[in-house]
Every structure is written in C-alpha cells, then in structure tokens.
Amino acid sequence: FSQNSAVWRSFGAGSGQEVLVRDYPFTYVRGGSHVVVVNPRREPAVADVPALAGRTVQRLDGSGVEVAGGRVSADGFGWGIFALA
C-alpha cells in the first residue's frame, strides 16, 4: 500500500463508505468514487454485486482481483482499488 498512499489519502478522512459485500471478498464503495475489495483468506472468493452491474470500474492498484459484470472475484489474499466511472 505504501507506493499508493496518495490513492488512500485521496479518499479523505471521513469519506463515506457503503458496504456492498459483508462476506468475502469484502467489498465497499469509498467516498462514492472508489471500490475497494479485500480477500484476507487463503481461498479464492466470488460474489455477485448487483450495485456494480453496468458500472465501469478502472483498476488503480491491487493484485488478484477482477470486477466485471456485477461480479467480484478475488484470489486468496487478493486486494484491489478501483475507480468508478
């Protein structure tokens, strides 16, 4: 995360969060403009996320995470930060 601390700072303190997936991969919208995905488990995880269906997301950073067509897929220990378009 250190090389992208500017991305994290851009969220701003107190930026609102909307949790989309409470299980894994844990997925939330931060500040209305970014999607954050974290899978702290060793096993891969997949979740359907209707709120992201039809939305365009652009990867800013991460490893082992895909977001497409209203579905989030994360490898074990995967994480990702995406901009909502």
**8-12, 17-21, 22-26, 57-61: which range is least confident on average?**
8-12
pTM of the model: 0.83
Beta strand pairing call for 26-30 and 34-38: antiparallel
Beta strand pairing call for 71-84 and 57-68: antiparallel
Beta bridge partners, 28, equal 19, 36
Q: What is the pLDDT of residue 1?
A: 45
Q: What is the pLDDT of residue 6?
A: 52
CA atoms of 33 and 57, how far apart (whole Å): 10
pLDDT mean over 17-35: 94
Q: What is the pLDDT of residue 73?
A: 98
CA atoms of 78 and 24, how far apart (whole Å): 10
pLDDT mean over 68-80: 97
